[in-house]
Chain A
Amino acid sequence: MMRFALWMLAALLLGAIVHLTTVLVLPGLATQDAYARVSAIAPVNAVVAVPPPTPDNEVMPFMDPAFAMSVCRYDLSRGSLKFSVPISQAYTSVSFYTRGDVPYYAINDRAAGRRVIELDLMTAAQRADLPENEDITRADRLIVTSPTSTGLIVIRALTPEAGWLTAARSTLAAARCRPQ
């Protein structure tokens, strides 16, 4: 009886280890995560419009159908990236995701405080290599540091009513992300 209880205790412990390991390892093994789904439609370092979600066709689950959306799948391994998008009349946001789909930074039109959201995206190492005075002289320069060398920039413009769709789309069409 004692022996059985010990075995069960060992099983419970091993079960806990299996559970924690699978939770930690799973994101690295996922083949159908958002980054992989976007990769299927988006080339590297270019802004691409994501087709609006419909019941039969959507790039990923839980997309908000009230938004027009574009993505830039970035790769910083060859250098930093310059990103810009003019703001739309309604609501425009730019969100940054790591290779593992974790949002690490997001900014909206109001927080940007001007007609264009403009920023530089780089890795921590590239930022450390920046000449110091350049950083200081341009205090208005917004620099975003990416924790991973690849990831996603997601640009979204709200269409609060159907008539706004054209305006939202043209805002997104003017978005740029390019290596510098």
Chain B
Amino acid sequence: MFALAVAATIGLGATWMALTRGSAYGGVTIGAWTAWPKTGTAGIDPYARAMIARTGELPVGSGDGVAFYARTDSAGEPLDGRCDVLLSGITPQARFWTLTLYDRTGHLVANSVRRQGFTSQEIIRKSDGSFDIIVGPRVRPGNWLPTGGVEKYQLVLRLYDTPIGMSTRSESEAPMPSITKDSCQ
């Protein structure tokens, strides 16, 4: 009886962990960002399939684009909406990209200026083409992405019409912006 209870705990516990931690196979990790390009194809693995069934999302198809997720900064600290975070650098080759801020469960976060993200067209760039985006609770000049003061959030950078995909492995092929924590409230 005890053994059965242990079995059930291990089994269901492992399923729960696998589906909530987002640890599907075949991820491409570049800095703080991870993408699962295979989830956008018919070759999706059972874990990713179970995960999208649980969240209720429609993953980006591989002929459309690829989505990179960041839940921590480049140092591995969870993204906290009460802190100012600097996103800096360039993005991989793509016709368009969008950056969106979601809470941990994939819902948009309410804020006073109704900005949920940026597109590659909207962003103010430096003369060398790179950009800085400040993600934080208080109004900032330049590219400011409000967090609404939410405790934990994630950033999703979606590249559309891009050569980045399953064969991408390294930073040199796909330079992603760095994520650095600044001051906290």
Contacts and interface: CB of A to CB of B under 8 A. Distances in A.
Interface residues of A, number: 63
A160 B62 contact: no
Given A103-B60, A104-B41, A30 B107 contact: no
B63 interface: yes
Contact of B110 (A8, A55, A100): A55
Nearest to A107: B63
A60 B56 contact: yes
Given A12-B10, A16-B10, A158-B160, A105 B63 contact: yes
Given A18-B8, A22-B11, A60 B58 contact: yes
B63 A106 contact: yes
Contacts of A64: 98, 100, 158
A130 interface: no
A24 to B, nearest CB: 6
Determine chain A's interface SS by DSSP, over half rule.
mixed
A101 B64 contact: no
A65 B53 contact: no
Most central of B3, B10, B61 by chain A CB within 10 Å: B61
B61 A11 contact: no
Contacts of B90: none
Given A23-B47, A58-B108, A65-B100, A110 B95 contact: yes
A78 interface: no
B150 to A, nearest CB: 10
A46 to B, nearest CB: 18
A147 B42 CA distance: 9
Contacts of B56: 30, 32-34, 36-37, 60-61
Interface string B75-117: 0000000000000000000011010101001111110000011
Question: Size band of the B side of the interface?
Answer: 35 or more
Contacts of A62: 55, 57-58, 102, 106, 156
Given A32-B56, A91-B161, A100-B49, A106 B61 contact: yes
B64 A11 contact: no
Contacts of A13: 7
Nearest to A33: B53
A34 B52 contact: yes
Interface of B: 2-4, 6-12, 14-15, 18-19, 40-42, 44, 46-47, 49-50, 52-65, 95-96, 98, 100, 102, 105-110, 116-117, 119-122, 156, 158, 160-161
Going nearest first, the 6 A-B pairs with the smallest beta carbon separation are A18-B11, A15-B10, A61-B106, A106-B61, A106-B63, A103-B61
